[in-house]
Amino acid sequence: MTAKPPLTLLIAAPRGFCAGVDRAIRIVELALERYGAPVYVRHEIVHNRFVVDSLKAKGAIFVPELDQVPDGAPVVFSAHGVPKAIPARAEERGLNYLDATCPLVSKVHRQAERLIEYGRHILFVGHEGHPEVSGTFGQVPAGRMTLVESAADAEAIQPADPDRLAFHARPRCGEDRRQQLPDEPVGEPLLQRLAAPPEALERASDLQGRVQQRGLADPRRAFDHDRPPSALARGGHRVAQHAQLAIAL
């Protein structure tokens, strides 16, 4: 058998969960300690199969909708955040709920509300159906925010008032994806077509720190050495930032 050459493994830092994810997991664990099993969790607390399975083993039950939570049972809202209608519905039913929304996601929600108060129409970069996107859209009145998933979406936008636009993105949306809007090569032609000056497109986005550090710094680490670059990104297929990191690698 041919001997393989020595392998040097560099473990990038930072790694592991961000503070918001750690907090959400701990909230479920504390709920189980206080109330006992079962504790219901609306949506997966985080997109990590190991974490979800370990919490299931302790007595957590994950459901996609609040309607599946029995009366009188405690329920936790996931780190991704929820529309305003979800806590309101829980209160109507008298449910004891715990909100494990990541603080950065909550900040995005508040930013969206302020932009609407300022009279802006929000162009929101994200993926349709993602819980963070659904949660953010659920913070503002219907019709006041437009989802932008691609450059084609951006070019197709026909706002009623081009001078009152705002740009927003979910906190874990990849940096390269955010830079497509409203910057080159998509944003500038869009601004010209809309006859809107760059300052008219107000920006309010809050990329999660750990994601930015991994997505921008870690891939470069592989190129700091003389050997041919190679890197492995360990993560979940359903996690958007992991997909962005794999593209960067």
Question: Per the residue annotation, which of 132, 149, 184, 188 is the catalytic one?
Answer: 132
The b-or-e profile of 116-138 (16+ CB within 10 A means b, else e) is beeebbbbbbbeeebbbbbbbbb
Distance of CA 170 to the CA centre of its chain: 5
Question: Could you give the angle at which helices 19-35 and 103-117 cross, rounded to 10 degrees?
Answer: 110
d(Cα 236, Cα 215) in Å, to the nearest integer? 15
d(Cα 94, Cα 8) in Å, to the nearest integer? 56
Residue 132 known to be catalytic: yes
d(Cα 169, Cα 188) in Å, to the nearest integer? 18
d(Cα 247, Cα 239) in Å, to the nearest integer? 13
In contact, 121 and 166? CB cutoff 8 Å: yes
Catalytically annotated residues: 132
